[in-house]
Amino acid sequence: MKTIFHDSRYLDFHTHSMRQANSEDVMEIVSLHLGKDKPHQYFTVGMHPWWTEQPVTPAQRKELEVALSDPKCLAMGEMGLDNLKGPAMGMQMDILRSQLAIAEELGKSVIIHCVRAFGQLSEIKKQFPGIEKWCVHGYGRHATLAKQLIDQGFYLSLMPGLPPTKYIELFKSIPYDHLFLETDSMPDVSIIEVYETVAGLIGIQVPELQRQMNSNARKFFGR
């Protein structure tokens, strides 16, 4: 199968809008919340914990199955747990399980939103051994937790705009083959600038960082 992840491109692993649609040098993976479609090429789809009040209904399951069957749908998500916003944590866990059951059945990788709920997330992950690839997006916590998550089988997509010391700490502590870079559609954040910043901080060339991120994506998405 011909890969869609080219080593010479800047991969924006997680964004909510296409801002580089006319650039052949940038690939953006747009995260869609079910029922809130936006312009996209390659995408993921899920039900974000901020806007979801109950587990997946039969009608929503059908919608998800249709979306996930699209060849340009790369994974399921974002979905997850947030201790600062959304329904009560018990309900959020039920909602997440209802989505993970679909991802496991369909053999999809998953993109996870997690805020102050990593213990609960780790417990839920154990309940779905059939899901091979998991990634926590927007990661900005410390290296100790990052290493624990990597040991549990997670990939991490780093939050844009981290302090330089944080980028250095995380890249020193984590295998490069389990990391991604993203913009998360943050205002005034360019994925090209993110790559340039990170490459300078960790002492490698931008093309090498591009190759690594795209190699990681081929493994994570199976594409």
Sorted by where each starts, the structural domains of the chain and their CATH numbers stand as: 13-221 (3.20.20.140)
Cis status of the peptide bond prior to 78, with omega within 30 of 0: yes
Instruction: Report how far residue 138's alpha carbon sits from residue 150's, in angstroms, rounded to the nearest whole number.
Output: 15
Number of other CB atoms surrounding residue 76 within 10 Å: 25
Distance of CA 89 to the CA centre of its chain: 21
Q: The tokens 């309900």 sit on which residue?
A: 91
Phi, psi of 91 (to 5 degrees): -65, -40
The pLDDT value given to residue 148: 97
The string of pLDDT tens digits covering residues 9-36 is 999 999 999 999 889 999 999 999 998 8
pTM value surpassing 0.85: yes
The pLDDT value given to residue 15: 97
Angle between helix 58-68 and 89-106 (nearest 10):
50
Give me 64's structure tokens: 């998800």
- What strand order describes the sheet that includes 154-158? 10-15, 26-33, 42-46, 73-82, 110-115, 134-139, 154-158, 179-181
pLDDT tens by residue, the chain, 223 residues: 578 999 999 999 999 999 998 899 999 999 999 988 888 999 999 999 999 999 999 999 999 999 999 999 999 999 999 999 999 999 999 999 999 999 999 999 999 999 999 999 999 999 999 999 999 999 999 999 999 999 999 999 999 999 999 999 999 999 999 999 999 999 999 999 999 999 999 999 999 999 999 999 999 999 8
CA angle 64, 66, 68 (to 5 degrees): 65
The string of pLDDT tens digits covering residues 146-162 is 999 999 999 999 999 99
The pLDDT value given to residue 2: 73
